[in-house]
Amino acid sequence: MPLPKGVYRADHVGSFLRPKEVLEARAKVDKKELSLAELRKIEDKHIATVVQRQIENGIASVTDGEFRREFFHLDFLQHLAGVERQGGMSSTNVTTHGMTPPRVVVVGKLGHPKPIQVDDYRFIESQIAAHKGDRTVTAKVCIPSPTMVHFRGGREAIPRDVYPTLEPFFDDVVRVYQEELADLYAAGCRFVQLDDTNLAYLCDAGMREEAAKRHGDDPDKITRQYADLINRAISKRPKDMVIGIHLCRGNFRSQWFAQGGYEPVAEVLFKQLDVDVYFLEYDDARSGDFSPLRHLPENKIVVLGVMSSKKPELDDTEDIVRRLNEAAKYCPRGLDQLCLSHQCGFSSTVEGNDLTEEEQWAKVRLNVEIAKQVWGDDLTV
């Protein structure tokens, strides 16, 4: 069975280390020393380079490196009507390096006044056309999961005078995501990756307890509710639009925030969620064993994140191959249902993980080399 279009044996989650000029320009914007239009020109220059480097280093699922974002989720969500980015979050699990991430707060009826990612997607496509030659390359758009509008703030972040009950709120979340996916499809996009920390956090015993207190619900019920929310949000996508989901356990300056195997969410994740491909973090023991993959249906793919984007050292090739083969024992179709990646991107926030750009690209090249060793030179099948 061929891989879904846009999925490759050597794959990646999406973000790359931000160039110094981009970081400096963003800081100038914050100080009102540079306009957003000037920032975008600088971003364009460096996105053109990162697209070229992905292709040169063997990556065929190409992103803009998330160079236009400060956080993987907020820079998308704050463009929705009725959403504001405010302050930080109070949770011992998500405070590290003295940094408390901002949170999304609902202040009015949710709306989708204009496409959010379409212009960015078109720019990626223009750069792919300039650099791909005769190679098969797909532009991948990464957006936060619909669950990100709700999980961290819960009911208290949604004003009761705007949404007296949560059903209309979730209906509006579904609608704005359907509209964004429709706009992306009309622009030519055929692969969208949803980045979701919340299903991964619901694998962590401590975070499950926090979630129960915050939402007043059993974590298993929340898991099912979120699967339904995502399914509804992607339900109108055309058949040739591939949807992936990345379960992230936290990725700030090489730190992680959640731990625990996938077993608490595995049945819902694999049997009820209507996505085509899963990007799963499996870079160390905190992710548990591979046994939850026994729930994987025969028609779905897992991009196994057994490599690490958090450390500068190269992963051990023999160990990675061994772990791929170990995971394959639990999949109905074995290695045929697996691909290889690092557990997360290299820069989910502007700060980036603790390694250099050259170390980053060396890790990307190793990813491609190992994939070819395991599956052969054609990484599309």
Whole-angstrom distance, CA of residue 72 vs CA of residue 150: 16
Whole-angstrom distance, CA of residue 243 vs CA of residue 131: 25
- pTM over the 0.85 mark: yes
Structural tokens at position 79: 């463009």
**Contact of 70 with 349, CB cutoff 8 Å:** yes
The length of the chain is 381
Of 227 and 210, more confident: 227
Give the H/E segment covering residue 195: strand 191-196
In the predicted structure, residue 302 carries a pLDDT above the cut 60:
yes
Confidence of residue 214 (pLDDT cuts 50, 70, 90): low
Structural tokens at position 227: 């699967």
| Coil, helix or strand at residue 331 | coil
pLDDT in tens, 76-88: 888 899 988 776 5
pLDDT of amino acid 75:
77
Confidence of residue 93 (pLDDT cuts 50, 70, 90): very low
Of 354 and 184, more confident: 184
Whole-angstrom distance, CA of residue 280 vs CA of residue 263: 13
CA nearest 381: which of 326, 339, 320, 343?
339
Residue 319: phi and psi, rounded to 5, are: -65, -40
Give me the amino acid identity at 333. R
When mean pLDDT is compared across 156-165, 302-311, 317-326, the lowest value belongs to 156-165
279 pairs with which residues across the strands?
246, 303
When mean pLDDT is compared across 3-17, 139-153, 200-214, 240-254, the lowest value belongs to 200-214
Return mean pLDDT, the chain: 88
pLDDT of amino acid 248:
82
pLDDT of amino acid 148:
83
| Coil, helix or strand at residue 169 | helix
CA nearest 285: which of 336, 323, 228, 340?
323
Residue 85: phi and psi, rounded to 5, are: -100, 125
CA nearest 311: which of 369, 366, 272, 271?
366
**Contact of 150 with 144, CB cutoff 8 Å:** no
In the predicted structure, residue 242 carries a pLDDT above the cut 90:
yes
pLDDT of amino acid 209:
66
pLDDT in tens, 196-207: 877 877 766 666
**Contact of 248 with 195, CB cutoff 8 Å:** yes
pLDDT of amino acid 254:
43
When mean pLDDT is compared across 20-24, 94-98, 110-114, 368-372, the lowest value belongs to 94-98
Confidence of residue 67 (pLDDT cuts 50, 70, 90): very high
Of 161 and 203, more confident: 161
In the predicted structure, residue 258 carries a pLDDT above the cut 80:
no
Which residues, other chains included, contact 40 with Cβ-Cβ below 8 Å and sequence gap of 6+? 68
In the predicted structure, residue 353 carries a pLDDT above the cut 90:
no
